[in-house]
């Protein structure tokens, strides 16, 4: 066996393309008295190299396959050949099949699966977008949200990535649990409808269930929610609060309403920025610790700021970039 000359021939077998001359030469190397160990080393070596090289172009590949078919017909034992020659053909064929089988097993064990193609959908300021996933699940994305999902879900699970806020109606599939990954929490479901608010810049995040059941995995806790239950989570402190909200609508923002639940004033300001595409700042040197609870239809930004003044005493004034809140 010659490593330098036999290596290209094995590479042909790996690609499924080889010529008659190459197989004849390879058969000469497959003598009954040859050792298996050098062949194993050479096959492994050749596999690593061929894996890194580009594949044969389609025309050349087709030509090699045609040559292979002719070769197979030629090496079939003929009735007119002597038993001794038939035995030699059979022995060489068996040896070749052993090499090919070993290469196939090596390939199946060490081949790296092709990564899935992920799709990305984003919304901008003041924008909402409806999305249907490959499994039939339906979503509505709120403003300034990014959703990533595979073009085809796996056979055992369905996973998506969310940064922002979205309302989910997950298609039931007990064999493939649905999982949403966000920067600070994960939600697992089988089939249900719920809302996730998980903006990376916000102090407060939430999951609210409209129907069915979900499991929320936090860094240091696991919470199960069912219909009309909600969890509030503060990633900076790790605190969480599970509550039942029978009268509070889930995803009120889809109907154009703003709903706050013990929400820090800074998060309220960021929500208004995303909804109205404006800049809302706080007066320097002043401390704001207010939290707001309530629902408001956002007919105009100034009407909401006016309501904010009556509720909290926080005033507002126009600036070149938007509005400034002050006391």
What is the number of other CB atoms lying within 10 angstroms of the CB of residue 153?
19
* One domain, residues 159 and 220: yes
Residue recorded with tokens 């080393």: 41
* One domain, residues 310 and 293: yes
Phi, psi of 29 (to 5 degrees): -75, -20
Determine the average pLDDT of the residues in 228-257.
87
Report yes or no on 242 lying in a domain: yes
Domain stop point among 110, 137, 163: 110
Mean pLDDT for all residues in the chain: 79
Query: H-type helices in the chain, by residue range?
Result: 3-15, 20-29, 36-52, 58-75, 83-110, 265-276, 301-312
Bridge-partner residues for 218, per DSSP?
221
Query: pLDDT tens digit string along 104-142?
Result: 555 555 554 456 789 999 999 999 999 999 999 999 999
CATH number of the domain encompassing residue 156: 2.60.120.1440
Report yes or no on 45 lying in a domain: yes
CATH number of the domain encompassing residue 322: 3.55.50.30
Report yes or no on 16 lying in a domain: yes
* One domain, residues 15 and 80: yes
When mean pLDDT is compared across 8-17, 89-98, 159-168, 271-280, the lowest value belongs to 8-17
Report yes or no on 181 lying in a domain: yes
Task: Name which residue leads in pLDDT, 259 or 73.
Answer: 259
How far is residue 102 from each of residues 35, 39, 44, 98, 106, measured CA to CA in Å? 15, 10, 10, 6, 6
Instruction: Give the three-state DSSP class for 12.
Output: helix
Determine the average pLDDT of the residues in 176-188.
94
Domain stop point among 52, 78, 110: 110
* One domain, residues 139 and 222: yes
What is the number of other CB atoms lying within 10 angstroms of the CB of residue 228?
16
Q: Which two tokens stand for residue 117?
A: 């193609």
Query: pLDDT tens digit string along 286-301?
Result: 999 999 988 887 678 9
* One domain, residues 74 and 152: no
Report yes or no on 251 lying in a domain: no
Report yes or no on 39 lying in a domain: yes
Question: In this predicted structure, what is the pLDDT of residue 108?
Answer: 52
What is the number of other CB atoms lying within 10 angstroms of the CB of residue 320?
5
- pLDDT band for position 51 (cuts 50, 70, 90): very low
Query: pLDDT tens digit string along 253-279?
Result: 998 888 888 899 999 999 999 999 999
Number of domains into which the chain is organized: 3
* One domain, residues 260 and 217: no
Which residues form the domain of 221? 114-246
Question: In this predicted structure, what is the pLDDT of residue 190?
Answer: 76
Question: In this predicted structure, what is the pLDDT of residue 216?
Answer: 95
Q: Where are the strands (E) in 142-297, listed by range?
A: 146-150, 158-169, 178-181, 186-189, 193-198, 205-211, 213-218, 221-226, 229-234, 239-244, 257-264, 279-282, 291-297
Phi, psi of 103 (to 5 degrees): -65, -40
* One domain, residues 155 and 224: yes
Bridge-partner residues for 291, per DSSP?
264
- pLDDT band for position 8 (cuts 50, 70, 90): low
Q: Do residues 309 and 316 lie in contact, with contact meaning Cβ atoms separated by under 8 Å?
A: yes
Determine the average pLDDT of the residues in 234-245.
89
Determine the average pLDDT of the residues in 140-163.
95
pLDDT at 67 over 70: no
| Phi-psi group of 9: left, alpha or beta (phi > 0 → left; psi -120 to 50 → alpha; rest → beta) | alpha
* One domain, residues 229 and 296: no
pLDDT at 44 over 50: yes
Determine the average pLDDT of the residues in 147-162.
94
Bridge-partner residues for 263, per DSSP?
292
pLDDT at 48 over 80: no
Domain stop point among 78, 110, 142: 110
């Amino acid at each position: 066996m010659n490593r330098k000359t036999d290596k290209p021939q094995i590479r042909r077998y790996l690609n499924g393309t080889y010529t008659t001359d190459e197989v004849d030469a390879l058969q000469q190397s497959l003598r009954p008295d040859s050792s298996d160990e050098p062949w194993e080393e050479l096959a492994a070596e050749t596999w690593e190299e061929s894996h890194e090289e580009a594949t044969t172009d389609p025309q050349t590949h087709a030509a090699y396959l045609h040559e292979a078919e002719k070769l197979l017909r030629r090496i079939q034992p003929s009735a007119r050949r002597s038993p001794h020659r038939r035995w030699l053909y059979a022995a060489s064929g068996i040896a070749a099949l052993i090499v090919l089988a070993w290469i196939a097993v090596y390939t199946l064990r060490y081949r790296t699966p092709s990564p899935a193609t992920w799709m990305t959908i984003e919304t901008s300021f003041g924008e909402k977008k409806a999305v249907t996933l490959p499994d039939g699940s339906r979503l509505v994305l709120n403003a300034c949200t990014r959703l990533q999902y595979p073009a085809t879900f796996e056979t055992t699970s369905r996973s998506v990535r969310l940064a922002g806020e979205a309302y989910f109606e997950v298609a039931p599939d007990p064999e493939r649990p649905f999982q949403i990954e966000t920067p600070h929490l994960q939600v697992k479901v089988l089939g249900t409808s719920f809302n996730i608010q998980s903006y990376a810049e916000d102090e407060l995040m939430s999951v609210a269930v409209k129907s069915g059941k979900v499991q929320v995995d936090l860094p240091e806790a696991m919470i199960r929610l069912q219909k009309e239950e909600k969890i509030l989570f503060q990633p900076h402190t790790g605190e969480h609060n599970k509550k039942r909200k029978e009268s509070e609508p889930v995803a009120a923002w889809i109907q154009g309403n703003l709903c706050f639940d013990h929400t820090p004033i800074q998060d309220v300001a960021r929500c208004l920025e995303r909804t109205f595409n404006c800049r809302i700042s706080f007066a320097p040197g002043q401390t704001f610790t207010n939290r707001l609870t309530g629902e408001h239809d956002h007919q105009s930004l100034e009407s909401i700021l006016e309501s904010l003044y009556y509720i909290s005493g926080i005033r507002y004034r126009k600036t070149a970039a938007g509005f400034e809140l002050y006391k």
